[in-house]
Amino acid sequence: MKNILNAPFKSLHQSAPFDQIKTSDFIPALEIEIKETLKKINQICTQTELPSFENTLEALNQSGEQLGIITSILFNLNSAETNTELQEVVQKAAPLLTNFQNDIRLNEVLFSRIKTVYNQKENLNLTPEQNTLIEKEYKSFVRNGALLSVKDKEKLRAIDKELAQLSLTFGEHVLADSQAFEFHITQKEQLAGLPQTSIAMAKKLAQEKKKKGWIFTLDYPSYVPFVTYADNRSLREKMSRAFGKKGFQENDNNNEKIILRLIYLKKDRANLLGYKSHANFVLEERMAKSEKVVNKFLDDLYQSALPFAQKEWEQLEEFAKNKLNLTELQKWDTAYVSEKLKQELFDFDDQVLKPYFPLPKVLIGLFKIVQRLYGVRFKKSNKIKGYHKDVDCYEVLNEAGDYYAILYADFHPRSGKRSGAWMTSYRSQNQKNRPHISIVCNFSPPTENAPSLLTFSEVTTLFHEFGHALHGILANTKYSGLSGTNVSWDFVELPSQILENWCYQEEALSLFANHYLTKEPLPMHYVQKIKDAAQFQQGMQTLRQLSFGYLDLSYHNENAMNIDCVHSHEEKQIAKLQFTPKIKENCLSTSFSHIFQGGYAAGYYSYKWAEVLDADAFELFLEKGIFDKKTAKAFHDNILSKGGTQHPMDLYKRFRGSEPDPKALLRRAGLIQ
């Protein structure tokens, strides 16, 4: 019987037939497609025609399309709907795919043909996109060992294989520790201070587990409200300590040795390729270009934010002492005290806003905003199948009403789904295919009496991930390798972060912020409070983000090999960036999935880097109007549709007319006038 994964899908728009795919299909399908793709690569290498852009670069870019689809389905499911069986398959698939990539990148004949075209590119009359593709492919081969000796190529193969497996194991450990913890409460008085929506969600979870009372977990919709609102300090401490111990306990899920091995392998790999550090290797291909530039960027932000952060902390301590009788603030107190202070300063309680942000209504409003900006519409479809019953599927239609993309929307936590929020794709866009895009979040699920109600922070998270989705949906390039989010890592957050700005604008809020019971629009005085509160504790928030950026770089710079204890190293790195006392049982690094499982190694700074871009870019929208068609078209034509077809600074300057102003971020954060 033919494997369903090895042929074009017969479903609507060739969407993935999740209900027909078996876990056992993946490895045989991968083996077949790897073999077929290598056969196509061999045809490129053995042809008698002289190397040209079309018969080498274009042919290479078009090979392995079905392999890419299978791989995307497998790894996306492993993040959003995993189980033990699937995790075992992924562990088997990782070395297969790493070996496959090395078979291509270390193919001397293929590289020779690419090098020939690369050396002739000035005389080939290439389009900007074609020129970028040849530059990217040539550098990719070189940066993956094409110029190494046979012996060093084999060493690189071994390093890449181990890195792939360790990264997967790191993520599995974090997920396992998260799911192993549950806080079962049976005494009602211990719920004091918690929002009713959180209590209802915890009660529902307890009922599902056939237990009395309430169950809280380390999933963000459960954890964040608990440490923010629970009046019982000892219970907040219990939750906070559990959250901070992920990957840092004396059990099979401990990630300390994995981290040390990962940073050693990355340093060894970089040295093998002629770089002093993994950071130098990574940053060479980023907008920032070098570790020196990134450190200066972080240091400048630190100097700007520190005085504000110190004043904010003193204000927090004074408020805690005088109003809450708390004399020494701990990690589990900061969110709680900050929320109380915010309520006093702005007469603002995020929980009061939740009834105005029912997820279904927010989503409809988001669709309207996007349609007004870029002309696309979202039509829910029952003909497209999701990978879980909670996944909603949409056809994306262009202004003419024609099919343009697929969107999968997966919003609520469940067993087998990792925490956090992200965007991904199941099918890349190219000149033949429109993209299949997915956004995944972990918002509070609906209860018996209410729909899923979002905090304002969750509203901005939804807009953020949808910004990434638009980068994929509106992509319009010839080659999939340059499409959508295939851009410099410190540019990829611009489309996501700029869309968050619409959450603070009255004209946009009026499209979706209505009370789910009374239908009353969000009162305008709340809109002003949202704007005022947006600058609340921005100094401290900036230091928090900088701590992640500094910590990330420290694991990947020239001195990384001197690290022998993850916990003590982390403490030294972030000491100047935090105000609460150290907790010896907690460690951020052991669950820092962005850099040890995701693609942010030596790149976490890019969140702040992109904030500069988005703050500067949105100032143009504010000047021209947040729904100004000309500005939106310029952003679409030069940023969203172009992917990585040209250097990001060239694309940005074409949109904005100049390089970004670093002070735009400081102005928005209220750190300068």
Catalytic residue among 33, 291, 339, 465: 465
Model pLDDT for residues 398-441, shown as the tens digit of each residue: 999 999 999 999 999 998 998 889 999 999 999 999 999 999 99
Lookup: tokens for 246: 């992920």
- Last residue of a domain, which of 244, 271, 293? 244
Nearest-angstrom CA–CA distance, 446 and 444: 7
Torsion on CA atoms 71, 411, 215, 82, rounded to nearest 10: -10
* One domain, residues 387 and 530: yes
* One domain, residues 96 and 188: no
Model pLDDT for residues 355-411, shown as the tens digit of each residue: 999 999 999 999 999 999 999 999 999 999 999 999 999 999 999 999 999 999 999
> Is 90 exceeded by the pLDDT of residue 137?
yes
Q: Residue 542 falls within a domain, yes or no?
A: no
Q: If you average pLDDT over residues 612-627, what whole number do you get?
A: 96
3-state SS class at 521: strand
Q: How confident is the model at residue 1 (pLDDT cuts 50, 70, 90)?
A: low
* One domain, residues 138 and 190: no
Residue 589 has a pLDDT of: 98
Average pLDDT, whole number, for the chain? 95
φ/ψ of 423, rounded to 5, equals: -115, 145
> How buried is residue 291: exposed, middle or buried, by Cβ count under 10 Å (0-12/13-18/19+)?
buried
In sequence order, what are the residues at sequence separation of 6 or more whose Cβ sits closer than 8 angstroms to the Cβ of residue 442? 219, 220, 221, 411, 412, 413, 417, 419, 420, 421
Residue 335 has a pLDDT of: 97
- Last residue of a domain, which of 197, 224, 244? 244
* One domain, residues 520 and 478: yes
Q: Residue 398 falls within a domain, yes or no?
A: yes
* One domain, residues 403 and 517: yes
Model pLDDT for residues 567-591, shown as the tens digit of each residue: 999 999 999 999 999 999 999 999 9
Nearest-angstrom CA–CA distance, 656 and 631: 9
Q: Residue 266 falls within a domain, yes or no?
A: no
Q: If you average pLDDT over residues 17-37, what whole number do you get?
A: 97
Quote helix, strand, coil % in the chain, to nearest 5: 60, 5, 35
* One domain, residues 432 and 508: yes
Q: If you average pLDDT over residues 474-496, what whole number do you get?
A: 94
User: Percent of the chain having pLDDT more than 70?
Assistant: 100
Q: If you average pLDDT over residues 656-665, what whole number do you get?
A: 93
Q: How confident is the model at residue 156 (pLDDT cuts 50, 70, 90)?
A: very high
Nearest-angstrom CA–CA distance, 468 and 439: 8
Residue 447 has a pLDDT of: 86
In sequence order, what are the residues at sequence separation of 6 or more whose Cβ sits closer than 8 angstroms to the Cβ of residue 51? 112, 113, 114, 116, 117
Which single residue is written with the structure tokens 């290598």? 38
Residue 490 has a pLDDT of: 87
In the chain, the largest separation of any two C-alpha atoms, in whole Å, equals 83
> Is 90 exceeded by the pLDDT of residue 119?
yes
Which single residue is written with the structure tokens 């390089």? 659
* One domain, residues 8 and 141: yes
Nearest-angstrom CA–CA distance, 648 and 492: 9
Residue 350 has a pLDDT of: 79
* One domain, residues 197 and 112: no
Nearest-angstrom CA–CA distance, 408 and 473: 11
Q: If you average pLDDT over residues 318-342, what whole number do you get?
A: 96
Can you give the CATH number for the domain in which 51 is found?
1.20.1050.40
- Last residue of a domain, which of 534, 558, 581? 534
Q: Is 137 a catalytic residue?
A: no
Q: How confident is the model at residue 155 (pLDDT cuts 50, 70, 90)?
A: very high
Q: If you average pLDDT over residues 245-258, what whole number do you get?
A: 97
Q: Residue 610 falls within a domain, yes or no?
A: no
**Backbone region of residue 274 per phi and psi (left: phi > 0; alpha: psi in -120 to 50; beta: other values):** left
Model pLDDT for residues 64-93, shown as the tens digit of each residue: 999 999 999 999 999 999 999 999 999 999
Q: How confident is the model at residue 662 (pLDDT cuts 50, 70, 90)?
A: confident
Q: From 167, 152, 42, 72, select the one nearest 600 (Cα to Cα).
A: 167
Given a contact cutoff of 8 angstroms between Cβ atoms, the answer to whether 3 and 25 are in contact is yes
Q: Residue 472 falls within a domain, yes or no?
A: yes
Given a contact cutoff of 8 angstroms between Cβ atoms, the answer to whether 16 and 435 are in contact is no
* One domain, residues 127 and 221: no
Specify the pairing of strand 403-410 against strand 436-440: parallel
* One domain, residues 134 and 186: no
Nearest-angstrom CA–CA distance, 343 and 349: 5
Q: Residue 373 falls within a domain, yes or no?
A: yes
Torsion on CA atoms 67, 70, 72, 76, rounded to nearest 10: -160
Can you give the CATH number for the domain in which 423 is found?
1.10.1370.40
- State the amino acid at position 366 in one-letter form: L
Specify the pairing of strand 436-440 against strand 422-427: antiparallel
> Is 80 exceeded by the pLDDT of residue 245?
yes
* One domain, residues 134 and 187: no
Domain count, the chain: 3
Q: Residue 39 falls within a domain, yes or no?
A: yes
* One domain, residues 368 and 459: yes
Model pLDDT for residues 510-524, shown as the tens digit of each residue: 999 999 999 999 998
Q: How confident is the model at residue 290 (pLDDT cuts 50, 70, 90)?
A: very high
Nearest-angstrom CA–CA distance, 424 and 407: 10
Q: Which alpha helices (H) appear in 325-413, and where do they start and end?
A: 334-346, 350-353, 359-374
Burial 381-415 (b: 16+ CB within 10 A, else e): beebbbbeeebbbbbbbeeeeeebbbbbbbbbbee
> Is 70 exceeded by the pLDDT of residue 673?
no
Note the Cα 109 to chain centre separation in Å. Answer: 36
Model pLDDT for residues 641-658, shown as the tens digit of each residue: 999 999 999 999 999 999
Q: Residue 410 falls within a domain, yes or no?
A: yes
Q: Which domain holds residue 388?
A: 355-534
